[in-house]
Amino acid sequence: MKLSIIIPVYNEKATLAILLRQVHEATQYYNTEIIVVDDCSSDGSEQIIREQVQQYSNVIGVLRHINRGKGAAIREALRIVTGDLVLIQDADLEYSPSDYPRLLDPILQGKARVVYGSRFVNSTVFGMSPLFRWGNLLLTWWTNVLFRSTLTDMETCYKVIPAEILKAIPLSGNRFDFEPEITAKLLNRGINIVEVPISYNGRNKLEGKKIGVRDGIVAAWALLKYRRNPVAGEAANEMIIIRGSL
């Protein structure tokens, strides 16, 4: 089993090197490829990615010349994924790669096809504001109403999905609407999502958090849109790929 870890990056120089070290440590016993997508950063994140590509043979860098958002970055990475499973990892330090075994075990044991890491079930959570917490819970409730599901954390970053399933789903969300879009399209296809508890250490706007109230409104609308039209999607953008041989 080969694991593909997709890491979208936009101006995360302060945390990226630390995060990548944690990813390497957490996956030393796995067969992995780490696809780091720089979404037109301006803070020097690209240089860290180039250094990682030269140092590690399993790191692939994808450089984008236009900033379009997390969803677009993930769609770019999916074009070159070669693993059996795909795990989404944010470039900040809110989510800990030490949770990887917990996320992967249900799939490896044949107990699940898709796994989400939930911040709201027996989890260790720090730094989440009341507004952010209730916004997440409201969006999850809306998901459950529309799709008759029983999720506790639809907006979680940690999603582990077989590559063959992801590549077969037309995706169009450019920003944080990737989360409701992929969830809606999995549920529309009758794919059960198993949740496991994870740790979470949130950050605020001053520390670089990018998601806001507007994104929550977009997510709510996206859930309704994909409930009505489950096949909407679009092609990915142009990109430049850098590998260790370059």
SS3 sequence of the chain:
CEEEEEEEECCCHHHHHHHHHHHHHHCCCCEEEEEEEECCCCCCHHHHHHHHHHHCCCEEEEECCCCCCHHHHHHHHHCCCCCCEEEECCCCCCCCHHHHHHHHHHHHCCCCCEEEEECCCCCEEECCCHHHHHHHHHHHHHHHHHHCCCCCCCCCCCEEEEHHHHHHCCCCCCCCCHHHHHHHHHHHCCCCEEEEECEEECCCHHHCCCCCHHHHHHHHHHHHHHHHCCCCCCCCCCCEEECCCC
Is 235's pLDDT higher than 50? no
Which whole number is the average pLDDT over 117-142? 85
Is 236's pLDDT higher than 80? no
* Top-confidence residue, 85 or 170: 85
Is 38's pLDDT higher than 70? yes
CB atoms within 10 A of CB 179: 27
Q: What is the mean pLDDT of the chain?
A: 87
CB atoms within 10 A of CB 178: 25
| pLDDT tens for each residue of 186-227 | 999 999 999 999 999 875 555 445 565 676 787 777 888 777
Which whole number is the average pLDDT over 32-48? 95
> Which pLDDT band, with edges at 50, 70 and 90, does 83 fall under?
very high
* Top-confidence residue, 202 or 7: 7
**Contact criterion met (CB below 8 Å) for 238 and 76:** no
Give the range of the structural domain holding residue 219, as residue numbers without chain letter: 2-242
List CB contacts of 168: < 8 A, sequence separation 6 or more. Answer: none
Which CATH number characterizes residue 18's domain? 3.90.550.10
pLDDT for 121 equals 87
If one counts the domains in the chain, the total is 1
pLDDT for 4 equals 98
Lowest mean pLDDT among 19-23, 53-57, 173-177, 187-191: 173-177
Q: Which of 117-121, 220-224, 237-241 reaches the highest mean pLDDT? A: 117-121
Is 76's pLDDT higher than 50? yes
